[in-house]
Amino acid sequence: MSVAAVRTPVEYESRLQQYLYERSEEGRVVRVGEKEVSEQAAIVARYADLFSRGQLDGLRESAGTAEADERERLFRLCKTCEAGIVAAELAEREDELENAILAARVSYRGEELPLRAAQARLAVLPGYEDRKQLGELQSDMSARFNTDRLEVLRAGEELEAEVSEEPDAVRRNEEEKGISLEELERALAEASAAAEPAYQRLRDRWFERLLGPGREAVPASYHVSYMRRLSPLADTYTKERAVEVCLETLSRLGFDLRSQPNIRLDLDDRPQKSPRACVIASDPPRLVHLITRAQGGLHDYQAFMHEAGHALHYAGSNPSLPYTYRRLARDHALTEIYSYICEAITREPAWHAEHFGLSQEQAADNAEATRFMEVLFFRRYTAKLQFELDFWSRFPSDGGTPDGYSERLTGATGVWYRPEGFLADMDAGFYSADYLRAWIRAAQLRTFLVREVGDDWWRRTETGDRLRSLFREGTRPSSEEIAARIGFDPLDTGPLVSELSG
């Protein structure tokens, strides 16, 4: 019997850095459409030594005897090792599923569209009936993969339960995030209810303006990405100006993305490129990719600002921090604060007036449209978290069902979400909870900035300076620690409710 070497935490961290670099780069080329076949499994196989039970035991042992700060770092390495053990066993099946989804085509009016291209097309199709038709085709095709998705999900859950030694999915995630998901859910449910009257007013007005009088009483989710683009206003928010305006907006904060060589911009349009913008932190702060695919409409600007927040965060981390605190977090709740605060600039009426030559009144009107989408998404995510809590609580007895998905999301948004969408709409590890914590925190941070810097916080270099000093800490702090620094209780949703209610 051969015994694989067990690395010390320091050796482990350094080899992990190389591994994550390769996986990130592989994920990137597939995501941006430079490569049609995902080969993550080969990388996982090459680094199999990182993810052995023996190595996990070794790290756990070191964690058991470490001092507080070192213990946190080792906790993250242990969690990464656990996730790697799970990923190694699942990689082949996940690749297979991913490749099948990449190969799927939707026949639409004589065209054979890849699923992602169909999804991207939905955002730009002007006709209500056309979107409905393509949306149904796209989601019928997507639903065909549900059996495979559920199998991969079950296999992953079984492995995670075993490797982490915590069989309860909700408790396991709470431990990793260091919060109570139930308390979070309660605070969010109250905030969502408090924003309901404002949402109803906004919905009546903006459904009419964005979808027209011929819409159904409860339009389907196929129209959401079209609404999010604010398509009727697309002449104002053109595809061509998106990058220039966003770079200018960031330069007001004192961030010059063009002269920051560690942030690589990929703004090209390719047929297989995912329409969702993203940041891939391949090796922060040395190498961070910011990837967007402009389609026209305000959402391009919002997505760019959002991802720029992530990119600046990773690229702004102190290079002398241990790798763990530049790349690994317990969850995504911290980095999403920075993406949200950058994106929040696109909801400032004066930003619309300044960059698009609008009158005060027009600018206020367009900013209201962005608030409408914001409330819609906040209520959607709260409903998603509620569904996911139910889903995982029931999971041991029913193996995962769509029960409640459509009801909860449709009830919260007034947009119909079909039940079969529940798996494609679910991100691993309660990512919805991380987004929602960032929603609360970014509103707190904005309130803090308005108080400390002024109403025009969004065009002052002082804001950039304050953000820069937060970015330097890398991925070390929790979202809740940031709340304490800016003087808020972590679950204080007051700033968020008042922002959503206008």
* Collapsed DSSP state (helix, strand, coil) of residue 468: helix
DSSP 32: T
- Smaller CB distance to Zn ion: residue 206 or 435? 435
Least distance to Zn ion, CB of residue 218, Å: 28
The C-alpha atoms of residue 123 and residue 311 are separated, in whole angstroms, by 25
**Phi (first) and psi of residue 422, to 5 degrees:** -60, -35
Least distance to Zn ion, CB of residue 229, Å: 18
- Smaller CB distance to Zn ion: residue 44 or 333? 333
Buried b (16+ CB within 10 A) or exposed e, 84-117: bbbbbbbbeebbebbeebbebebebeeeebbbbb
Beta-strand (E) ranges in 58-206? 105-108, 111-114
* Longest Cα–Cα distance in the chain: 76
- Smaller CB distance to Zn ion: residue 62 or 444? 444
Least distance to Zn ion, CB of residue 428, Å: 15
Residues that bind Zn ion (CB under 5 A): 339
- Smaller CB distance to Zn ion: residue 339 or 410? 339
**Where do we find the tokens 């039940």?**
419
Least distance to Zn ion, CB of residue 398, Å: 31
Least distance to Zn ion, CB of residue 499, Å: 18
Specify whether the CB–CB gap between 461 and 414 falls below 8 A. no
- Smaller CB distance to Zn ion: residue 206 or 431? 431
Least distance to Zn ion, CB of residue 73, Å: 24
Among 285, 291, 245, 242, residue whose Cα is nearest residue 261: 285
Specify whether the CB–CB gap between 236 and 356 falls below 8 A. yes
Neighbours of 216 (CB within 10 A): 12
Specify whether the CB–CB gap between 412 and 380 falls below 8 A. yes
Least distance to Zn ion, CB of residue 342, Å: 10
Neighbours of 291 (CB within 10 A): 22
The burial of 43, by beta-carbon neighbours within 10 Å (0-12 exposed, 13-18 middle, 19 or more buried), is given as middle
Least distance to Zn ion, CB of residue 489, Å: 24
- Smaller CB distance to Zn ion: residue 339 or 493? 339
**Phi (first) and psi of residue 101, to 5 degrees:** -65, -40
Which residue has the closest beta carbon to Zn ion?
339
Least distance to Zn ion, CB of residue 339, Å: 4
Q: How far is CA 377 from CA 118, 119, 232, 297, 490, in A?
A: 22, 18, 19, 17, 21
- Smaller CB distance to Zn ion: residue 285 or 400? 285
- Smaller CB distance to Zn ion: residue 339 or 444? 339
- Smaller CB distance to Zn ion: residue 60 or 264? 264
Least distance to Zn ion, CB of residue 414, Å: 25
- Smaller CB distance to Zn ion: residue 324 or 339? 339
Neighbours of 496 (CB within 10 A): 26
